[in-house]
Chains A and B, each alone.
Chain A
Amino acid sequence: MKYFLRKIGFFLLTLWAVVTLNFLIPRLQPGDPAELMVQKLAGKNAQLNLAQVRAMRAMLGTPHGSLWSQYWEYLGHLAHGDFGLSYTYFPYKVTDVIGQGLWWTLVLVACTQILSFVVGVILGAYAAWRRNSRFDSIVTLGSTFVGTLQPFWIALLLLYVFAYSLGWFPTSGGYSSSTPGWNLAFIDEAVSHAFLPAVALMIVTPIGWILGMRNTMIMNLGEDYIRLAKAKGLPDRTVALRYAARNALLPSVTGFALALGGLLGGAILVETAFDYPGLGRLMGEAVANKDYPLLQTLMLLTTTGVLIANLIADLLYGVLDPRARRAER
């Protein structure tokens, strides 16, 4: 029980720190969202309409009071689930805006991440088991190289080849003319729009899992319990899966939870490149527009997401690894 309590205590403390950081980071920086928005609207080759800037400032409402009182107000609002109004989509609520992007990202990113984790772990485990085989070298060398490609660059390449040159896939967006919902036309569009971004994300993400799994597995293969399992005359499959892979999986599981944090980061570039209507693109937009409320909430969302994923992974770790349940830390 202690183990779980500790985890939860840590979770709450970190959550508080993250919330505070999310509050501070945007606020400590200079910049005027109103001016920026008017400028964007007009384009750079236009004179700033001062009246419009003033109106915009009045509209967005500038923060007032000391930082301290703002902080309490912010915490109070958070406690009520009030995240404010987005500047970019004013007067829509930040939560509405995020609600729109969330599904797209969840579907795209979650699918690719889970898929690549599974694929990566399987490939890595198999490569370790067949260590030094041709399969192993192809997988390690190949995945190292592919893993170093920048997702953004892959996106460009894919766009060029499959969207522009071959025209097999659309170049941007999440769907086009169909009505979102459970209808065939929409699903068809959504899938074909998601295909290239998914591939761009899929190409690079499994690599970490492959190499990580391979390394831990190789290390585990040297353990005595593997030798004993072999001495017991158990079939290879049992030894590989139940003894080696089962043990090697543990660090990967926590690694996976932590990686969920980097996820939105990777998605920013890819979603932007494909103009995909997910949270990554929203995040990019929020930064570009100095949309503090949106940015703040997105960061809060992702950090809490990671924290929760982490907590789950930790608890899961406790289930998967009986040793952790007893250990103090």
Chain B
Amino acid sequence: AKDTSSGGGSGGGGMIPQLNLPAEVDASVGSLVNYNPYSAKPATQTWLYEPLMMQNSLDCKVAPWLATSYSWESADKLVFTIRKGVKFADGSAFSAKDVAFTFNLAKKYPAMDLAGVWNDTFGAHATSVTAQGDKVVFQFSGPAAPKFPWIIGQKILSAKHYGNVGDPTKYIDKKPNGTGPFKVGSFNGRQLVLVRRSDYWQASKVKVSKLVLEGQPDATQALLQLRTGKLDFYSGEIPNPRKAFVASNPKINHVWYAPNGVTALAPNLKKAPFNDVKFREAMAYAINKQDATLKATYNMMHVASQSGLVMPLRESMLPTPYTAENTVLPFDLTKAGQLLDEAGYKKGAGGLRTNKDGSPLTIKFAVQAGWIDYEAMADSITASFKKLGLNVKEIKSPPDSVDLQKKTGNFDMMVNFVGSGCDYANGLGATLASDQFPTKSEVKGNVERFSDPAVNQAVKTLQSSTDPAAVKTQVGVLAKAMMTQYPVMPILYAPARGIYRTDKAVGWPTEKDPYANPQDAILLIMTHLRPAK
């Protein structure tokens, strides 16, 4: 049901004079500009400083960027080959030394260590990062495969520029000097104008001469600006984009919402009756996913597979006998009812089901107030659970306090996001591994508090596996656990939104050509854009 009209089309050889994008930070900062990519709110994250590589979260392919290639020499040693001929905006040459400098700076200033290289956040910490010729070598104290996606995403700084600024997170960078495709043209406190660098290392691929970043419009404003062409691309939320945007000019206006993970119903497995797998199975059949996606996403998103993996993209990871189709459980209240009856949750007085021991069964459904799609999903689920005879009560409270409930484990069930990254240890693995229970101070992935030794083992193995075949086996274990133990019940795929116009530029990713995640790979997209005819 996704938009299939292409953003493609053949482009000419000319240039796109200007594209308008929303600002990446709030506009009210006025002259308080900071281009430092390691500050809390850099004026732009994307166009000035570049990462080592870019992984397409949809098909998991890794595109070379400042690094031309990588290899895991062993589970604890990662080697990048750094691209030659890259120049910083000031004309100085970029080298492996800058890469090593950036990562070593994070060792000195842990506030900058967004990839967790120097601590044990995702696998073992690094012992050294060194430049060796055109190579950069990461030596870890143990297996560290899950750090890979974060490491390649770090923005590389110029050693010359950042070498003597002290704490980089406290440094206000007003004269950015990155390797990126654009440099700052002007900034007037609200409007950031970026101009194309002709000496960019892949300048031939960048056809946009000027980028204008202005304002952080809300949904309504963004819609208006998109319709009138004051904005060319937007990845924020716009309710009902097909009616509100595409329908107003279907030739030029397009949307593509890529699946970016799974939104699931997470029960608290430490509590009865959710500790009963039968009960959970019944829940899985009692969710009207089709209705949920209609209400929550205006049918923009597909209903989700119980496997916890995004289908059909990851169908290849499924073990037999599972397929993309049969892992999507149907909405079947009769079946759910039977399952509950069999398991002993009989209907009592007033048609409400009771616990096995006959005591009243009430479920408090914690809902993130203000997250309208979550609220809509919750409403839909509550409605069908009630039909099943379950006494569900929605309690809407601010997202912060839902987070607090995640930390304390003091909840019955809630809607939760399940990661679907390319490193399964960090995505689905984090949702299932028992060392990922949230703690008092940190929200980790295993909110439902599922625990299974086999799964733990599989996640552990995944963390040190760099070999695709081994990965598939382990992911199979996770998927199977999802299919048989129902730790969480996926509802629908969470969207990565791309809302764009094709009157100036074409070549945006589409469902047919999903070369990039529209939400977080705009830099990659930039190299694919061509002028419209």
Contacts and interface: CB of A to CB of B under 8 A. Distances in A.
Contacts of B371: 44
A174 B41 contact: no
B29 A100 contact: yes
B218 interface: yes
Interface residues of B, number: 64
A291 to B, nearest CB: 10
B442 A53 contact: yes
B389 interface: no
A180 B190 CA distance: 10
A285 B224 CA distance: 23
A49 to B, nearest CB: 7
B453 to A, nearest CB: 23
A308 interface: no
Contacts of A48: 443
B354 to A, nearest CB: 35
Interface string B154-198: 000000000000000111100000000000000011110000000
Given A91-B171, A100-B28, A275-B221, A51 B121 contact: yes
B8 to A, nearest CB: 26
Contact of B217 (A52, A172, A282): A172
B493 to A, nearest CB: 9
A175 B187 CA distance: 13
A45 B224 contact: no
A172 B40 contact: no
Contacts of B39: 90-91
Given A30-B404, A91-B172, A176 B190 contact: yes
B28 A101 contact: yes
Contacts of B426: 47
A320 interface: no
Interface in B215-272: 215-218, 220-221, 224-225, 260-261, 263
Chain A, interface residues (CB within 8 Å), range: 35 or more
Contacts of A100: 28-32, 189
A173 B215 contact: yes
Interface in A42-99: 43-56, 58-60, 87-92, 96-97
A14 B30 CA distance: 33
Interface string A140-151: 000000000000
B122 interface: yes
A105 B122 CA distance: 45
A206 to B, nearest CB: 27
Contacts of A91: 34, 39-40, 169-172
Contact of B261 (A45, A53, A89, A275): A45
Contacts, number: 154
A164 interface: yes
Contacts of B430: 47
Interface stretch (B96-104, B105-113, B326-334, B468-476): B105-113
B27 interface: yes
Contact of A59 (B40, B221, B443): B40
Contacts of B487: none
Contact of B260 (A45, A49, A87): A45
Name which of B189, B374, B519 has the most chain A CB atoms within 10 A of its CB.
Answer: B189
A174 B188 contact: no
A270 to B, nearest CB: 14
Contacts of B30: 100-101, 180, 277
Contact of A55 (B29, B112, B172, B225): B112
Contacts of B419: 46-47
Interface string B32-51: 10100001110000000000
Given A45-B263, A52-B114, A87 B40 contact: yes
A176 to B, nearest CB: 6
Contacts of A54: 110, 113, 116, 119, 121
Interface in A256-297: 275, 277-278, 281-282, 285
A59 B106 CA distance: 12
B351 interface: no
Name which of A37, A54, A97 has the most chain B CB atoms within 10 A of its CB.
Answer: A54
A58 B110 contact: yes
B121 A173 contact: no
B417 interface: yes
Name which of A30, A55, A173, A178 has the most chain B CB atoms within 10 A of its CB.
Answer: A55
A54 B519 CA distance: 24
A176 B110 contact: no
Given A45-B260, A91-B172, A92-B172, 14 more contacts: A31-B400, A44-B368, A46-B261, A47-B261, A55-B112, A55-B113, A56-B40, A91-B171, A100-B189, A104-B28, A171-B217, A180-B30, A180-B189, A285-B28
Q: Which 7 A-B pairs give the minimum distances between C-beta atoms?
A: A51-B116, A100-B30, A59-B111, A277-B28, A45-B494, A90-B40, A47-B419
12 contacts: A44-B399, A44-B417, A46-B419, A50-B122, A51-B116, A54-B113, A55-B112, A59-B111, A89-B40, A101-B28, A175-B190, A177-B214
